[in-house]
Amino acid sequence: MRLVWQRHGYHRSKWIVHSSRAKNRILFSLCGLIPIIFLVFIILAACGGSSSSTSGPTVSAIDNAFSPKEFHIKAGETVTWVNNGQTSHSVTADDNSYDSGLFGPGAQYSHKFIEPGRYSYYCTLHGGPGGSAMAGVIIVDPSSSSVVPADNIMQLSTPPHAILRVPEQYSTIQAAVNAAVPGDLVSIGPSNNPDGTYHESVRVKTSGITIRGRDRNTVILDGQYKLDDGFEVLADNVVIENMTARHFEGNGFYWTGITGYRGSYLTAYNNGDYGIYSYSATEGQFDHSLAAGHPDSGFYIGACHPCNALITNVISEDNALGFSGTNAGGNLVISNSIWRNNISGIDPNTLDSEPDPPQDGDTIINNLVENNNNFDAPAKVLEYPAIGNGIVLGGGNNDIVEGNRISGHKYYGILVWQILRLRPSQQETTASQVIKSHVRYHLSCRSLMLVAQFLQGQVQVIIVP
C-alpha cells in the first residue's frame, strides 16, 4: 500500500475560533513556502548532481534503512553511500573510526576500507550502534570470491509475516493487536459502529508490529471525552500509520519507555493533553502528520538524551504549543514543517520538576513558523507566558536554529531565556523562587498574572531588559 501525503481536514472544536482571515493565512502560508522550496531545489541540485555518476560499491541510504544492509567488498575498495531518502542521514562507525556527519537528500559520502574485517555503522538520527534500527555493516573479504548476489539486497520494505484485518477478522483494534506477533501488520478499515468510528483505547505490548489504517480520514478512533489515550505503545519498534485519533482525555498517539518508534500520516485533534507524543523513548520519527486543538502541545518528544529522533513534514496548529520537549535533545531534529496559529510555536524547554534536566542539543531547521498568537487555542496555565513567540528556547543548551522562516508574532521570532525553576534547589534556604529572563522579553499583564496564579504567590518575578 502506498501512502500519499496530502492535506487532511479535521472538525474543529468549540475551543478553536476562526477569523475571516483564515483563508488569507493559508494563502500566505503557502506563499511563504515558495522561497524554502526554491532553496531546497538549489541545494538538491548542488548536492545531488554527481550521484548518478557514482561508480564502485554503493549503498543507498533510504529513510530508516541502508540498502543493502550487509555489503561485501574487496580490501582496498571505496564504498559510497548515497542519500536517496527524503531526510538527512549519517554514516557513523560503531567504533567512531569514521563519521560522515549529517548529509541531506541527494548528497553522498565515501570511505575506503583497507583491511579485511567487519565494519559496523549506523545513522545517528535513526539508528544506533550494535545494529539497532537504521544500521548496516561492510564486510571486507580477504578475497574477491564473496560477493552478495543482487537478490539478497534488502528491499525498501519487508513483507509482513501476517496481515490481521480489522473489522473483517477482528471486531476491535485491540483484539488484532493482542493477536499480532513481531513482524505482523494490523490493517484497519472503517469501523462497523453506527457512527463509523472506533470507541476504544488501544494498548500495544508486542514489539515489532505495524498498525496501519487504510484511509486516514475514515479510520478514526474517538474517545468520546471518556477514554485515556487513542494508542499507548509500551513495546519497541512499533509503527502506527494513516489514521485519526480525537476526543481522548489524554493523548492521541503515545509511545513511552521504548526504543524504536514511528508515527506517519497521522491526524490527532481535540484531545485533552498532547496530540502525537513520545516520552522517555528513543530512536523514533514523526512525519507527514497533523496535530490540532490540544491544551498542551501538538507534538512532543521529551525525557530522552540522546533522543535520536526526527520530526519532519508535519503541521501543528491551534494548539497551546506547536512543539514541546522537556529535558530532551541529542540528535533531536525538527525540520521542514509548519507551526502556525498556536499560542507559541516551537518550545523545547528545561524543567527541574521533571527528570534529567536540562534540555540539550535540538536542531530546528527549515521550518515555517508563523502567527503563533492564538489566545483562543485550548491551553493549560503554564503555556500562556509563551504567547506570541515563534521559537522559544527555555533553559536549554547547545541548540541549533537555522534556515527557518519566522513571521507574524506579537513579541519575538526567537526568544532565548533562562530555566523556569519550579522547585527549590538543595542550596536554597527559603521558599521563594525566582524566574529570570535575561533577554528582551516583556510579559503581558495576562501572562504575568497567570504565572503568579500558577505558583500561588510564592514567586518573585524579575524581568531583566
CA distance readout (Å), 22 to 27, 28, 29, 359: 9, 10, 11, 35
One pLDDT digit (tens) per residue for the chain, 465 residues: 334 444 445 554 433 333 333 333 333 333 344 333 333 332 333 333 333 456 688 998 886 788 888 888 998 899 999 998 877 889 999 999 999 999 988 899 999 999 888 999 998 888 888 887 788 999 888 754 433 333 333 333 467 789 999 999 999 999 999 999 999 999 999 999 999 999 999 999 999 999 999 999 999 999 999 999 999 999 999 999 999 999 999 999 999 999 999 999 999 999 999 999 999 999 999 999 999 999 999 999 999 999 999 999 999 999 999 999 999 989 999 999 999 999 999 999 998 888 888 999 999 999 999 999 999 999 988 777 889 999 999 888 999 999 999 999 999 999 998 765 544 443 332 222 223 322 222 333 333 333 333 333 332 333 333
Query: Strand 58-62 to strand 65-67: parallel, antiparallel, or no bridges (unpaired)?
Result: antiparallel
CA separation for the pair 351, 450 (Å, rounded): 18
10 Å CB burial of residue 88 (0-12, 13-18, 19+) is: buried
Taking the domains of the chain in order of start, what are their residue ranges?
A: 22-39+158-424, 51-152
CA separation for the pair 191, 215 (Å, rounded): 11
CA distance readout (Å), 447 to 151, 206, 435, 442: 62, 44, 13, 10
CATH class for the region spanning 22-39+158-424: mainly beta
Q: Tell me if 93 sits within 8 A of 99, measured CB to CB.
A: yes
The fold of the 51-152 domain, in CATH, is Immunoglobulin-like (2.60.40)
CA separation for the pair 91, 161 (Å, rounded): 30
Chain position carrying cell 471525552: 225
The Cα angle at residue 145 between residues 139 and 149, in degrees rounded to 5: 70
Among 349, 263, 273, 356, smallest CA distance to 309 is for 263
pTM for the model: 0.63
| Beta strand extents in 384-439 (DSSP E only) | 389-394, 400-402, 405-407, 412-417, 433-437
Q: What single DSSP character describes residue 126?
A: E
